[in-house]
Amino acid sequence: MSNDVEIQPYDGPVGGWGSVSSIARRVRDDDAPTALPELARQNKPDGFACVSCAWAKPANAHLAEFCENGAKATFAELTRRRVGAEFFARHAVSELLGWPDQALEHEGRLTEPLRYDAATDRYVPVGWQEAFADIGAQLKALQATPDATVFYTSGRASLETAYLYQLFARLYGTNNLPDSSNMCHESTSVALKAALGVPVGTVKLEDFEHTDCLFFFGQNVGSNSPRMLHPLQAASERGVPIIVFNPLHERGLEEFTNPQRPLQMATRSTTRIASRYHAVKPGGDIAAITGLCKALLELDDAAQADGRPRLLDTAFIAQHTHGFDDFAAFVRAQAWPDIEAASGLRRSALTESAQVYAKASATIGVYGMGLTQHELGVDNVRMLVNLLLMRGNIGKPGAGACPVRGHSNVQGQRTVGIAEKPELVPLDRLAAQYGFEPPRHKGMNTVEACEGVLDGRVQAFIGLGGNFVRAVPDHHAIEPAWRRLQLTVHVATKLNRSHLLPGATSYLLPCLGRIERDLQAGGVQTVSVEDSTACIHASRGQHAPASEHLLSEPAIVAGLARATLAPNPQVDWTAWVADYGRVRDAIEATWPDQFAQFNQRMHQPGGFARPLPAAQRQWNTESGKAEFKVPPRLDAAFAGDGGPDVLRLVTLRSNDQFNTTVYGYDDRLRGIQGTRDVLLMNRDDMRRLGVADGSQVTLACAAADAGPADGVLREVSGLRVVAYDLPPGCCAGYYPECNPVVPLNHHARESKVPAVKSVPVRVRAAA
């Protein structure tokens, strides 16, 4: 560990001068001087959609409609550093495997297509046509069992690319289309679809102007969607209560200094964000929401007894919902001491927040990975919906469910057919449009793809972006298995560890980033993305490409498809690549209601909204109504009791990373600088378990059913203990460094999202 490590509580605001100086430092580190002018185009109607998060892009953009982390993402993409043939001639792949994630990506942008040469253990340059031809030949050879190939997508690729890619996979014969959202908001897609009939959030940006109460569960806005602090700041200044549930005291949920307000910057003043902060236990949200609902029922009983107006929206419940009585019976049957024990929160605190809720006429429930990445991740989301339904908070202005999506187009990719579940895709329409018989059986999601790699069913992996091997659990099992693959192909902008585990044949295909000019036969192209609020935006890159040898993602997908598939007169890949407008026409033909007049409407400032029936109180659910759901138990974390020395590990993102892309080693907002090898612990647990602040520990998985039986060592050593303000019984460390302790079978029951917000672990002092 370097001696630049500094660990001190951070009590400054989010945003403010800290954010400005962090931006300045990054532009130097990344050597990205030409990125600065690009910031003015970021998230603007005639500019490009930020490649960082998926937060909504307002119609009336601020002068600077970017945040600290959006700027970092732009600099990282527009760095002047390059990793080309000379780099790979100097460094063997097995040497690069010893490099940290940060160092690999810091080398800069990939510049030309590469093929792995086993004899020299190096990536060597190859021509595009040769690469396509060889990959096509190998895929054809595997086509007798199309389900042996996995087509993974990370959530950054555009709607146009995603549509072409899913069509390629289906024409090839498989629904193996796992997506990063399988590790992320799949719990949302399952829960909201069942409860409300739509798989996505029901809230629009303007709802934040009309809301009078916000619940905020398990989302770290200051690091992961900082532009969302603007509507939150405005709401807070209007006096809207913001009630937070989060085991960590995240600074972004506490105080914000808006870098776009000169006066606030000059006076170093701040806006308070959270009006109430509940440090819920990890996995304690079902219990916490049960407490809120129970208190609300008690308040409603009292109101009814006194002849005052009801606090439940009884008319809404009667007309629009199903299952309320069972749900209310469940809530009434839960004892307060059990709720307090499972949530870690006091009855009085929950009752006070229920009183605030009872007074609000329109409430939004915001949430992130703190709800979705648990064994009961789907039930967590259902509980939040239960809470909203009790007061009719779906389908009216200022109210609704607001999952904060991760990758900048992860929601949109699902909309245009990246789905392993065939029932989510209009296969009949694809069949008619392209004259083929699409596969009708279910494909693999992310966890199933890992299982397939482990047991040999999967033989080829095509990755459209992402860093699959780093993002998934159980690194020590997956990495060795990965090398047994027949074929691995990665379409990528930068080098990462997934690229360094070559199968028998491996290609690295470098692509244009979204901020770069995409010139095709039909002229400079525009792409589109869908944000967290189901609004679709045009995005036009104009920066000079990182290398003249790069192809766009649609061109790479088309190149692979042409080399692999038999010619089909109804599928003209060449015409699609020449003019992405024709891809949008094809998308419109597949989803005429969702994408009516796609090409015309995509330039609308603020994006165009896809129709969401639930927002109009039309419920495409089993009962035709919005569904209440009784949770299976109060605690979402993990079934079974591992004993007093077992802690719940929460894996976190720092303020200086985007998923597996580590920009640097500082987590300014949590006061940790110069290292990521830390384990945040509660002081009482440290005393109880006999580990000292600053000491070195090993973290070991304590899951009962994933023990040594399968022979995988699930440990991470060399972590430094940091005493931190979090609830007893849990600890926290960074993702992806902690992923080796997460067993692959530790995932949400219905969505299979890895349950990385609550992993049973033991902590051992280093020898």
Ligand X SMILES: Nc1nc2c(c(=O)[nH]1)N[C@H]1C(S)=C(S)[C@@H](COP(=O)(O)OP(=O)(O)OC[C@H]3O[C@@H](n4cnc5c(=O)[nH]c(N)nc54)[C@H](O)[C@@H]3O)O[C@H]1N2
- Any contact of residue 321 with ligand X (CB under 6 A)? no
- Any contact of residue 502 with Mo ion (CB under 5 A)? no
- Length of the chain in terms of residues written: 767
C-alpha 506/C-alpha 501 separation (Å) is: 9
Closer residue to Mo ion, CB minimum distance, 224 or 539: 224
- Any contact of residue 88 with ligand X (CB under 6 A)? no
- Any contact of residue 184 with Mo ion (CB under 5 A)? yes
651, interface contact from Mo ion, ligand X, none, CB < 5-8 Å by kind: ligand X
Q: What is the number of alpha carbons within 13 Å of residue 704 lying toward its C-beta?
A: 6
Give the Å distances, CA to CA, from 352 to 255, 278, 291, 356, 358.
22, 11, 11, 7, 10
Closer residue to Mo ion, CB minimum distance, 216 or 628: 216
Site for ligand X (CB under 6 A): how many residues? 64
Q: Which of 172, 468, 482, 638 binds ligand X (CB under 6 A)?
A: 468
Q: Which stretch binds Mo ion (CB under 5 A): 266-274, 281-289, 312-320, 406-414?
A: 406-414
Q: Which residues pair with 759 in a beta bridge?
A: 649
Q: Which of 388, 756, 761, 763 binds ligand X (CB under 6 A)?
A: 756
C-alpha 707/C-alpha 492 separation (Å) is: 35
Nearest to 389 by CA among 626, 599, 162: 626
- Any contact of residue 407 with ligand X (CB under 6 A)? yes
Give the Å distances, CA to CA, from 737 to 50, 101, 447, 551.
26, 10, 19, 32
C-alpha 49/C-alpha 513 separation (Å) is: 11
> b/e map of 543-559 (b: 16 or more CB within 10 Å)?
bebbeeebbbbbbbbbb
Closer residue to ligand X, CB minimum distance, 365 or 466: 466
Q: How far is the CB of 492 from ligand X (least distance, A)?
A: 4
C-alpha 645/C-alpha 690 separation (Å) is: 11
- Any contact of residue 406 with Mo ion (CB under 5 A)? yes
Confirm if 579 and 70 have CB atoms less than 8 A apart.
no
599, interface contact from Mo ion, ligand X, none, CB < 5-8 Å by kind: none
Closer residue to ligand X, CB minimum distance, 256 or 468: 468
Q: Which of 174, 175, 363, 660 binds ligand X (CB under 6 A)?
A: 660
Q: Which of 471, 536, 565, 721 binds ligand X (CB under 6 A)?
A: 471
Q: How far is the CB of 756 from Mo ion (least distance, A)?
A: 11
- Any contact of residue 280 with ligand X (CB under 6 A)? yes
Q: Which of 27, 184, 583, 615 binds ligand X (CB under 6 A)?
A: 184
Closer residue to ligand X, CB minimum distance, 371 or 389: 371
19, interface contact from Mo ion, ligand X, none, CB < 5-8 Å by kind: none
Closer residue to ligand X, CB minimum distance, 222 or 392: 222
Q: Which stretch binds ligand X (CB under 6 A): 459-467, 481-489, 531-539, 638-646?
A: 459-467
Per-residue binding string, ligand X, 352-371, x by CB under 6 A, is: ----------------xxx-
Closer residue to ligand X, CB minimum distance, 508 or 689: 508
User: CA angle, 416 as apex, 412 and 422 as ends, to 5°?
Assistant: 120
Q: Which of 183, 328, 345, 450 binds ligand X (CB under 6 A)?
A: 183
Q: How far is the CB of 426 from ligand X (least distance, A)?
A: 26
Nearest to 489 by CA among 454, 469, 463, 457: 463
- Any contact of residue 158 with ligand X (CB under 6 A)? no
Confirm if 616 and 654 have CB atoms less than 8 A apart.
no
- Positions in 535-564 near ligand X (CB under 6 A): 553
Token readout for 483 is 């090398």
Token readout for 252 is 């972004």
User: CA angle, 762 as apex, 760 and 766 as ends, to 5°?
Assistant: 150
Residue 157, classed as helix, strand or coil, is: coil
C-alpha 141/C-alpha 148 separation (Å) is: 11
User: CA angle, 497 as apex, 493 and 498 as ends, to 5°?
Assistant: 80
Closer residue to ligand X, CB minimum distance, 409 or 486: 409
Closer residue to ligand X, CB minimum distance, 9 or 605: 9
- Any contact of residue 138 with ligand X (CB under 6 A)? no
Confirm if 151 and 579 have CB atoms less than 8 A apart.
no
Nearest to 23 by CA among 35, 11, 12, 9: 35
- Positions in 188-217 near ligand X (CB under 6 A): 217
Q: Which of 115, 537, 757, 762 binds ligand X (CB under 6 A)?
A: 757
Closer residue to ligand X, CB minimum distance, 300 or 667: 667
Q: How far is the CB of 305 from ligand X (least distance, A)?
A: 33
- Any contact of residue 246 with ligand X (CB under 6 A)? yes
Q: Which stretch binds ligand X (CB under 6 A): 137-145, 475-483, 492-500, 536-544?
A: 492-500
User: Which region, left, alpha or beta, applies to residue 312 given φ > 0 means left and ψ of -120 to 50 means alpha?
Assistant: beta
Closer residue to ligand X, CB minimum distance, 430 or 538: 538
- Any contact of residue 496 with ligand X (CB under 6 A)? yes
Name, in order, each residue with C-beta under 8 angstroms of 519's C-beta and a sequence gap of 6 or more. 525
C-alpha 555/C-alpha 490 separation (Å) is: 14
280, interface contact from ligand X, Mo ion, none, CB < 5-8 Å by kind: ligand X
Query: Element (H or E) spanning 315, and its range?
Result: helix 314-320
- Any contact of residue 386 with ligand X (CB under 6 A)? no
158, interface contact from Mo ion, ligand X, none, CB < 5-8 Å by kind: none
Nearest to 530 by CA among 406, 697, 442: 406
Q: How far is the CB of 157 from Mo ion (least distance, A)?
A: 14
Nearest to 498 by CA among 104, 148, 74: 104
Contacts with ligand X, residue ranges (CB under 6 A): 52-53, 69, 105, 154-156, 180, 183-184, 217-220, 223-225, 245-248, 250, 280, 282-283, 285, 368-370, 373, 404, 406-407, 464-468, 471, 491-494, 496, 511, 513-514, 553, 650-653, 657-661, 735-736, 738-739, 742, 756-757
Contacts with Mo ion, residue ranges (CB under 5 A): 184, 406
